[in-house]
Chains A and B, each alone.
Chain A
Amino acid sequence: MRRILFDSLMRRPLTEAAPVKDDEMLAELGASVERAARRRLGRSLSIREVDAGSCNGCELEIHALNNAFYDLERFGLHFVASPRHADVLLVTGPVTRNMREALERTYNATPDPKWVVAVGDCAVDGGIFSGSYAVVGGVSGVVPVDLHIRGCPPQPTQLLKGLLTLLEPT
């Protein structure tokens, strides 16, 4: 263990520079997030992840944000275990009928001000699952969405871009 720790001390960090923010996402966010609310939160956001019926591909990439290369916490972003502690709901999946009520209740349990980020193509409009008897199709059909991050699944850098846009719009 000492050798691994020592090597880590001597080596340059693996963590990569922050990605450049995305204009398209900035435009979508512009209307929905007020400056005042953002000031109140400072530079820190607590994120609650909600799997509303995804294939777990999005979760894998969201999980990757915590690894040494992306190191999400350096931006003041961290995941929490309850919507009561959250500022942001990160919702994945086409919203299956089974998860609809759970998503609504999670949204209602999250204190204001709050934002909803829909992650992945399924979360936009049901994606490949749209039209299925088992899905509602798209997060915005159930709760208001402030930002969409597309991709199947979106890569960690795309997720990071979206979340940073939320944090520092300028």
Chain B
Amino acid sequence: MAGASLDTAARLAGRTSGDSTVAYALAFAHAVEAAIDVEVPPRAIYLRALMAELERLANHFGDIGAICNDASFSLMHAQCGILREKTLRAAQSCFGHRLMMDVVVPGGVARDLGPSCVTEVAALLEEIRQLFPQLVELYDNTASLQDRTATTGVLRGELARQFGAGGYVGRASGRAFDARKTPGYPPYDQLDFEVPVFEAGDVNARVWVRIREVEQSLALIGQILRGLPAGAIRVAIDPGDAVREGLGMAEAFRGDVLVWMRLEGGRVARCHLRDPSWFQWPLLEAVIEGNIVADFPLCNKSFNCSYSGHDL
């Protein structure tokens, strides 16, 4: 990263943890935009949020399915896999890439939404709204599954706060932090959504945070599509020669991503990308204590910490 041009650095940031590529690119863009003080066009801000919420949906579907799969309940895994794949296909057709890599760039977004895309994403929302509640009901009413997730791998709220754990790990243990609200960034200040918080701190609570966040993301995407402003999608970025520093944050599906960077002579001199997993991995160790070995996969999957984001 040191010595990289802004373009290369943005691509690298988007490959810190591939599952959160939109969030990383967004946090990096926020840092650059803070460093050189540029205003991003409103349409770009909305498109960024659209991508971020699609990414959150895809990952939460994957996680909910995978957690159930670790309790040998493969039906949920298969059904959630279908929803995930459909979300990725919509991303491919609207943003030209299944994971939406390299679309969020400093100064805006690299690609505008085609005319048919609004209808396509709306159709995806409709499909998810039909199928997802059935899956939630299935999860909630299957005693053998609940037996594995409820009271398993409890994270005490005190520990979550002590480590500053974000994302579903923190929010399932009563820590109501969400970077979209605090410090907050546009367009979320113009959108209506809630941050679901649970207190139980077990695997079940971490599943429920995801379920509720899927519902919130669906509502957010609906609002984004309705309120999508017209206009430019990108402003030119001139890093200049001066030394400048910027700090940026974005809420990934896993928690808050923080980026600090320093520009020197128009290139990135230093940069640090902090993954939410930094504050979650140590807690996993505390969570598995006293649980049976067979429940380790459930605890682990319900945390779903990033390997690449943490251990570069």
- List the interface of chain A (C-beta within 8 A of B): 1, 3-5, 14, 51, 53-61, 63-64, 66-69, 96, 98, 128-129, 134, 152-153, 155
Whether A56 and B78, one on each chain, are in contact in the complex, defined by CB atoms closer than 8 angstroms, is no
Task: Decide yes or no: A55 and B75 within 8 Å by CB, A1-B138, A60-B99, A128-B11 being known contacts.
Answer: no
Query: Do B19 and A56 touch (CB < 8 A)?
Result: yes
Report whether B82 and A56 are in contact in the complex, using a CB–CB cutoff of 8 Å: no
* CB of A158, distance to nearest CB on chain B (Å): 11
In chain B, what residue has the closest Cβ to A53?
A: B308
Is there contact, CB below 8 Å, between B8 and A128?
yes
Q: Does B190 reach chain A (CB closer than 8 Å)?
A: no
Establish whether residues A66 and B81, one from each chain, have CB atoms under 8 Å apart when the complex forms.
yes
Q: List, in ascending order, chain A residues with CB within 8 A of B301's CB.
A: none
**Number of chain B residues close to chain A: CB under 8 A:** 31
The CA of A57 and the CA of B55, in the complex, are separated in Å by 12
Number of A-B contacts (CB under 8 A): 71
Kindly list chain B residues whose C-beta atoms are within 8 Å of the C-beta of A128: 8, 11-12, 15
Residues of B within 8 Å of A64, CB to CB, are 81, 84-85, 88
18 additional A-B pairs beyond A4-B138, A68-B81, beta carbons within 8 Å, are A1-B142, A4-B79, A55-B308, A56-B17, A57-B19, A57-B21, A57-B101, A58-B18, A59-B18, A67-B78, A67-B85, A69-B85, A96-B312, A98-B311, A128-B11, A128-B15, A155-B92, A155-B98
B53-67 CB mask vs A (1 if < 8 Å, else 0) is: 000000000100000
Measured between C-beta atoms, what is the minimum distance from B100 to chain A in Å? 11
List A contacts of B75 (CB < 8 A): 1, 4-5
Interface centre among A51, A55, A66, A67, by most B CB within 10 Å? A55
Known interface pairs A57-B18, A153-B18; A67-B82 also in contact (CB < 8 Å): yes
Q: Which of B12, B18, B98 has the most CB of A within 10 A?
A: B18
Q: Which residues of A contact B82 (CB under 8 A)?
A: 14, 67-69
Q: A4-B138, A54-B18 are in contact. Are A67 and B81 (CB under 8 A)?
A: yes
Q: Show 9 residue pairs from A and B whose CB-CB distance is below 8 angstroms, ordered by the A residue.
A: A3-B134, A55-B15, A55-B17, A55-B18, A56-B18, A56-B306, A67-B82, A68-B85, A155-B92
Expressed in whole angstroms, the minimum distance between the Cβ of B146 and any Cβ of chain A is: 13
Residue numbers in B under 8 Å from A153 (CB-CB): 18, 99
Closest-CB distance, A37 to chain B (whole angstroms): 33
Note all chain B residues with C-beta closer than 8 A to A134: 312
Q: Does B16 touch A at the CB level, under 8 Å?
A: yes
Roughly how many angstroms separate A155 CA and B15 CA in the complex, as a whole number?
A: 16
Q: Is the CB of A56 within 8 A of B307?
A: yes
Kindly list chain B residues whose C-beta atoms are within 8 Å of the C-beta of A54. Answer: 18, 308
Question: How far, in angstroms, from A14 to B84 measured CA to CA in the complex?
Answer: 13
Instruction: Looking at the assembled complex, report how far the CB atom of A137 sits from the nearest CB atom of chain B, in whole angstroms.
Output: 15
With a cutoff of 8 Å between Cβ atoms, the chain A residues found around residue B135 in the complex are 4
Interface positions, chain B 62-105, Cβ under 8 Å from A, are 62, 75, 78-79, 81-82, 84-85, 88, 92, 98-99, 101
Chain A residues closer than 8 Å to B79, beta-carbon distance: 4
Residue of A nearest to B135 (CB): A4
Going nearest first, the 7 A-B pairs with the smallest beta carbon separation are A57-B18, A67-B81, A55-B18, A55-B15, A56-B18, A55-B308, A56-B308
| Contact residues in A for B16 (Cβ distance below 8 Å) | 55
